[in-house]
Structure 1
Amino acid sequence: MTLPLDDIRVIEIDSWMAAPSAAAILSDLGADVIKIEPLTGDPMRNTTRPAKVEGAFKGYDFQFDVDNRGKRSIAVDLGSDTGRDIVHRLCESADVFLCNLLQRRQEKFGLAPEQLFATNSKLVHATLTGYGTDGPEAWRPGYDVTAFFGRSGLYDSMRDGAEGQVPMARPAQGDHTTGLALVSGILAALRLAERTGKGQVIETSLFETAAWTLATDYGITAVDQAPVRRRSRQQQIVATANRYPCADGNWVVFNMPEASAWPRFCAALGLDHLLDDDRLQDIKGRFDNMAELVETVDAALAAKPRDDWGPIFDEHRLIWGPVLGLHEVTADPQAEAIGLFPTIEHDEHGEYRTVRAPMRIRDVDISPQHSSPRVGEHTRSVLASAGFDDAMVDRLVADGHVAEQ
Structure 2
Amino acid sequence: MNDVLEGIRVVELAAWTFVPAAGAVLADWGADVIKIEHPETGDPQRGLISSGMVTGASGVNHFIEQPNRGKRSVGIDTRTPEGLELLMKLIERADVFVTNLLPDSRARMGVDVDAIRARNPKIVYARGHGYGTKGNLAEQGGFDLAAYWSRGGIGESYSAGNGAYPPVQRPAFGDSYGGLAIAAGIAAALVKRQRTGEGSVVDVSLLGAAIWQLGPDIVGAGVLGTDIPKFDVSSMPNPAANIYKTQDGRFISFVLLQADRFWSEFCTRLGRTDLIDDDRYANAAVRFQNRTECIAELRSVFESEPLKHWEAAFDGFDGVWDVLRTPLEVHSDPQVIANGYLPRTVDTNDNEFALAASPVQFDETPLEVRRAPTHGEHTDSVLAELGLNEDEIVDLKIKSVVL
TM-score for both structures, normalised by structure 1: 0.93
Structure 1 portions without partners, runs of 5+: none
Cα-to-partner distance string for 1:7-59 (whole Å, 9 max, x where unaligned): 00000011111111110111111111100011211001141544635xxxx21
Q: Which amino acid aligns with 1:236?
A: M
Cα-to-partner distance string for 1:381-403 (whole Å, 9 max, x where unaligned): 11111122222211211112111
Structure 2 portions without partners, runs of 5+: none
Cα-to-partner distance string for 1:80-131 (whole Å, 9 max, x where unaligned): 2222221111100000001111111111111111110000011000011111
Cα-to-partner distance string for 1:226-245 (whole Å, 9 max, x where unaligned): 11211111221100011010
Q: Does the residue aligned with 2:87 lie in a helix, a strand or coil?
A: helix
- Map residues 172-211 of structure 1 onto 2, 5 A cutoff: 172-211=172-211
Q: Which amino acid aligns with 2:356?
A: V
Query: Is 1:83 matched with 2:83?
Result: yes
Query: Is 1:155 matched with 2:147?
Result: no
Tell me what 1:68 maps to. Answer: 68
Tell me what 1:127 maps to. Answer: 127
Measure how far apart 1:363 and its partner are.
Answer: 5.8
Q: Which amino acid aligns with 1:302?
A: E
- Map residues 323-402 of structure 1 onto 2, 5 A cutoff: 323-349=324-350, 351-362=352-363, 364=365, 366-368=367-369, 370-402=370-402
Q: Which amino acid aligns with 1:325?
A: T
Tell me what 2:269 maps to. Answer: 268
Query: Is 1:221 matched with 2:235?
Result: no
Aligned-partner Cα distance in 1 for 2:167–2:16: 22
Aligned-partner Cα distance in 1 for 2:117–2:202: 13
8 Å contact kept, 2:2–2:367:
no
Query: Is 1:243 matched with 2:243?
Result: yes
- Map residues 160-171 of structure 1 onto 2, 5 A cutoff: 160=160, 162=162, 164-171=164-171
8 Å contact kept, 2:60–2:351:
no
Query: Is 1:52 matched with 2:56?
Result: yes
Cα-to-partner distance string for 1:313-340 (whole Å, 9 max, x where unaligned): 2344331010001111101111111011
Q: Which amino acid aligns with 1:62?
A: H
Q: Does the residue aligned with 1:321 lie in a helix, a strand or coil?
A: strand
Q: Which amino acid aligns with 2:73?
A: S
Aligned-partner Cα distance in 2 for 1:163–1:312: 40
Aligned-partner Cα distance in 1 for 2:221–2:295: 29
Aligned-partner Cα distance in 1 for 2:99–2:330: 32
8 Å contact kept, 2:72–2:373:
yes
Aligned-partner Cα distance in 1 for 2:332–2:373: 28
Q: Does the residue aligned with 1:171 lie in a helix, a strand or coil?
A: coil
Percent of aligned pairs with the same amino acid: 34
8 Å contact kept, 2:340–2:366:
no
Q: Does the residue aligned with 2:10 lie in a helix, a strand or coil?
A: strand
8 Å contact kept, 1:154–1:210:
yes
Q: 1:257 to 1:2 in 2, by over 3 A?
A: closer
Measure how far apart 1:253 and its partner are.
Answer: 0.6
Query: Is 1:314 matched with 2:315?
Result: yes
Aligned-partner Cα distance in 2 for 1:346–1:362: 28
8 Å contact kept, 1:161–1:232:
no
8 Å contact kept, 1:3–1:366:
no
8 Å contact kept, 1:132–1:205:
yes
Q: 1:159 to 1:350 in 2, by over 3 A?
A: closer
Q: Which amino acid aligns with 2:65?
A: D
- Map residues 293-308 of structure 1 onto 2, 5 A cutoff: 293-308=294-309
8 Å contact kept, 2:11–2:97:
yes
Alpha-carbon RMSD across the aligned residues, in angstroms, is 1.8
Aligned-partner Cα distance in 2 for 1:161–1:286: 25
Measure how far apart 1:172 and its partner are.
Answer: 1.1
8 Å contact kept, 2:346–2:353:
yes
Aligned-partner Cα distance in 2 for 1:235–1:128: 40
8 Å contact kept, 2:19–2:98:
yes
Q: 1:358 to 1:51 in 2, by over 3 A?
A: farther
Measure how far apart 1:161 and its partner are.
Answer: 5.5
Q: Does the residue aligned with 2:48 lie in a helix, a strand or coil?
A: coil
Aligned-partner Cα distance in 1 for 2:95–2:210: 28
Tell me what 1:143 maps to. Answer: 143
Q: Which amino acid aligns with 1:113?
A: V
Aligned length: 398
8 Å contact kept, 2:128–2:205:
yes
8 Å contact kept, 1:341–1:356:
yes
Q: Which amino acid aligns with 1:253?
A: S
